[in-house]
Amino acid sequence: MAPMGEGGGLTSLSTLVTALKEFRCLTDPEPRTLCLDLVARELEMTAVPVRVHRVTDHFLVELARECLDNVRVMHALRASLAVMQADAEAIKRLDSVMEQMTARPALPVTATAELRALLEELEIGQLAQLCRAAAGPLRDVPPVNGPWHAFEELSRMNAPPGGLPPALALVEYLAASAQPLRKADALRVWADDRARELGLTSQLRSLRQQVGHAAPAGPLDAYLVIRLLPQEEPGRYELSSWRQYDPTGWHPARGPVTQVTSATAERAVQELVYAAAEEWDDARYIYVEFMLGQDDLNLPVHLWRLELDSELPTPLYMDHPVVVRSLERSQTRRWHRSWKQRWQIFDGQPGRSKQLVVDGPDADSPRSGDPAALLARLKADPYVVALILNSPPGTTPEGTSEALAAWRAGVPLVAWDGRPARDPAFVQHLRQKPAEASGDLARLREAVTELRLDAHTIDSAEREHHPGQHVVLVWDDPTRPVEPQGRLAGPDEGVGGR
């Protein structure tokens, strides 16, 4: 096989470098030499032709280039990494990248020429979504500018064991959406011929039945989850991100891990949001979710800005719904049972779901200053799925205790006023929004977005006093995990210590 064919460009190089950065034995200079020795042993060579650069990024680029030039080096490296670092998730992601890098063309040139004539003038809505469905979970599909370009990109991906090549699956999805019908029929005839040649007729028929009974493709919601993991040095974080836009289910793809400070985090987030917006230009909404630790829950991440270098930077919430997730709860497995139970009630029995307000206007509202009583109240009523705190966690002891009670009881939706003392009209402002006034707690996220947008429409001199500038919402869905189960790396354990 040719070294990497069309897949060996800078995009492939960057993708492979990102995957290799997850392995501490490659980012740490000390075990790096041992890893290369194992690769050389596997290849029965005296040494791998890769220099051990002092700059880690330079070393990883040269190592990735060697892997792209020689697939035997890539497989030997994968075997060595499996020996040195038993991180199943990192190995799984590397396997996915390798599978794409080493894909072989499965279709003859004459067949692809025939298909090109069918696809070049075809107009398809929701093309990116169809590409993701054809590629399957755990595969990143680059932006495409037409059906033929999409076919070319998916042609570089290998088929799953016993399954259809993604490019052939894409043709079936395109046929289901193609107009006029004669073109759809021609695409199906082409797909039938290729499936018969490859011995995959039954698999193609199964997919055709699934696609035929599926609902028409429509805009999907996309999610960008950003985790800020505090490091030992105050004001420093490990920034990780996960991207999710997959019609087949929740399959978040992890992005690169970087180190940021309180001063640089905003710009790093801007770049992640830009990349998501450019790739997911057909998404209905792009939700941005920040996974924050206990001391950072009150960070005004919704006020972080886009277009930082322009004359008119704008807050993140103007373009994307922004919520917070609890890093502490995600890491504490013993709290997950009650968390999942309340979410099931929230998701499956919305009419029975309840909201409590600490020091609220109702006579039976829980009172502040007694977190034990609050926890008991929450545990006694499994239908409470939303809680509004009296003060912000992370900045006031009272708010921190109230948030902890919510995590322990499994309450998935928590909101508060980010100022030290809650505005007396905070709850009233929130309940006046159409989404909240509907009584459907599933629309609390929309109500918070409406309140934030309200704040941006008033005079700038008054904006700082509007509750919309300060409202924080935790929207914590336990069915959408992004982290591996078990303990996360601490400040000194690096990327590979997960």
Judged by DSSP in three states, 140 sits in coil
C-alpha of 70 from chain center: 31
C-alpha of 243 from chain center: 2
Q: How many CA atoms lie within 13 A of 492 on its CB side?
A: 0
Strand-pairing partners, residue 261, are 236
pLDDT at 104: 54
Q: Which of 381, 403, 406, 382 is nearest to 394 (CA)?
A: 403
Q: How far apart are CA 438 and CA 68, in angstroms?
A: 56
Strand-pairing partners, residue 388, are 357, 415
At residue 278, φ and ψ (nearest 5 deg) are -70, -40
C-alpha of 147 from chain center: 25
Peptide bond into 180 cis (omega under 30): yes
Q: How many CA atoms lie within 13 A of 198 on its CB side?
A: 23
Q: How many CA atoms lie within 13 A of 290 on its CB side?
A: 30
Q: Which of 301, 288, 278 is nearest to 243 (CA)?
A: 288
Q: How far apart are CA 456 and CA 396, in angstroms?
A: 27
Q: Which amino acid is at 174?
A: L
Question: Taking a C-beta distance cutoff of 8 angstroms, is the pair 339, 476 a contact?
Answer: yes
pTM over 0.85: no
Q: How far apart are CA 60 and CA 76, in angstroms?
A: 15
Q: Exposed, middle or buried: residue 100 (CB in 10 Å: 0-12, 13-18, 19+)?
A: buried
Q: Mind giving me the DSSP string for 386-432?
A: EEE-SS-TTT-HHHHHHHHHHHHHT--EEEEESSSS--TTHHHHHHT
Q: Per residue of the chain (498 residues), what is the pLDDT tens digit?
A: 233 333 345 777 888 888 888 888 888 887 888 888 888 888 888 888 888 787 888 889 999 888 887 778 888 898 888 888 667 788 888 888 887 766 555 567 788 889 999 998 888 878 888 888 888 876 778 788 899 999 988 887 877 767 888 999 999 999 988 888 888 999 999 999 999 988 889 999 999 988 876 655 667 899 999 999 999 999 999 999 999 987 778 888 888 899 999 999 999 999 999 999 988 888 889 999 999 999 999 999 999 999 999 999 999 999 999 999 999 999 999 999 999 999 999 999 988 999 999 999 888 899 999 999 999 999 999 999 999 999 999 999 999 999 999 999 999 999 999 999 999 989 998 888 877 767 788 899 999 999 999 998 888 888 899 999 999 999 999 999 997 554 433 333 333 332
Question: Taking a C-beta distance cutoff of 8 angstroms, is the pair 388, 355 a contact?
Answer: yes
pLDDT at 313: 95
Instruction: Provide the Cα torsion 144, 147, 152, 154; round to 10°.
Output: 80
Question: Taking a C-beta distance cutoff of 8 angstroms, is the pair 45, 66 a contact?
Answer: no
Q: How far apart are CA 302 and CA 333, in angstroms?
A: 28
